[in-house]
Amino acid sequence: MLISTEPIGSIPRPQALLAALTQYRAGHAGADALHEAYDAALKDTIQRFEATGSPVISDGEQRKSSFATYPLEGLGNIADDGLVIPFEDGHSRRLPRLTRGPFRYSTFAVQYLQAALRHAHVPVKQAVISASALSLLYPEQGLDGYSHEQFLQDLVHEVASDIRKCLDIGAWRVQIDFTEGRLAVKLDPTKALLKEFIALNNRVLAEFNSEQRKRIGVHTCPGGDHDSTHSADVDYAELLPDLFQLNAGNFYLQLASEKDPRRILSVIKEAMQPGQRVFVGVIDVNDNAVETPETVRDRVLLAAQYIPLEQLGTTDDCGFSPFEDDTSTGRDIAFAKIRARVLGTQMAAEQLRTQASGEFR
């Protein structure tokens, strides 16, 4: 009886890398020095990730300035005055805005995966940004000579290519980051926007066959940045039934920070479909207190009361520091939390195995 466990992706950057980025952007260091800092951060991240015992790791998104905008770096048709997303602590993030067509990626996630695979000794998953998040780049007033539908066609093509390239070189899974799910309900309580997002992401997933979709997952959370969220005030039950309409094989769901996990697990039980694996969050990434393995064990055992074991997995609620400038969580804390997730999941699996053995005697 094995319960799968996987991370979400990002890990806080080491201080040496942050210092190198500051020096580079101030013109005090060259590209070679920055690349050396990136390489050192990647190697250290993978070594420390593997030392946690995690059976699946990521590259920690050490080279991404943001999990959401990595495909746009260096493009000439992007402005920085797009949609503003406010967080509950008062700070905000601003999305870019497309200024003209066509829409194309400048950077594909496969380059991060290739670098990680050169150093890793265990399977590596790769996170990619969703089509729905990038759809917010298109301005409300439209673009001359570049219709919204043409933009969406190009967007679907680029996002599908991002996923396919990672699958083709051996990603354990490709995880679509859909942190805008609850935000969509906040922006439009009628849920029309959410349904548009689900339909758009399903256009991407339709580019893959059933076997490939078993290796594709979707992550959702209420946002995580500087230990704050943008949509935790939205009832999870408003998102989950629609979320499970996505034609993906795996779902990574924030849960540890929910105030009433039993109620949410009941919603998950009713909404999930056969063949879908649900990785429940057992680590609160916005709380610097490190969970004990026993706490994780108990969270897993609770989830097992609602989700069939063959469909149950564990994860972290969100990535740690998904934006480059977020230093609210230290690397040591992040890896300690991951270790607790691994150990707690193992403890829960052993307890459930023992219980099952007793039942069959």
Q: What is the DSSP string of 109-158?
A: THHHHHHHHTT-SS-B-EEEE-HHHHHTTS-TT-BTTB-HHHHHHHHHHH
Look at the pTM and tell me if it is higher than 0.85.
yes
pLDDT at 311 over 60: yes
Question: What count of residues does the chain have?
Answer: 361
Dist. CA 10–CA 57, nearest whole Å: 10
In order of 346, 352, 357, the CA distances from 360 in angstroms are 21, 13, 5
Dist. CA 317–CA 280, nearest whole Å: 8
In order of 29, 113, 278, the CA distances from 216 in angstroms are 39, 15, 12
Main-chain dihedrals φ then ψ at residue 14, nearest 5 degrees:
-70, 155
Q: What is the pLDDT of residues 20-60, one digit of tens each?
A: 999 999 999 999 999 999 999 999 999 999 999 999 999 99
pLDDT at 360 over 80: no
Q: What is the mean pLDDT of residues 289-297?
A: 98
Q: What is the pLDDT of residues 231-289, one digit of tens each?
A: 888 899 999 999 999 999 999 999 999 999 999 999 999 999 999 999 999 999 999 99
What confidence score (pLDDT) does residue 2 get?
Answer: 83
Neighbours of 357 (CB within 10 A): 10
Instruction: Calculate what percentage of the chain has a pLDDT beyond 70.
Output: 99
Dist. CA 115–CA 132, nearest whole Å: 27
Q: Assign 86 a pLDDT band (cuts: 50, 70, 90).
A: confident
Domains of the chain from N-terminus onward: 4-359 (3.20.20.210)
Dist. CA 136–CA 178, nearest whole Å: 13
Which residues touch 112 (CB under 8 Å, ≥6 apart)? 59, 61, 63, 64, 126
**Strand blocks (E) in the chain:** 4-5, 78-79, 84-86, 92-94, 97-98, 126-129, 174-177, 216-220, 250-253, 277-281, 312-315
Instruction: Calculate what percentage of the chain has a pLDDT beyond 90.
Output: 84
Which residues touch 358 (CB under 8 Å, ≥6 apart)? none
pLDDT at 355 over 90: no
65 vs 304, more confident: 304
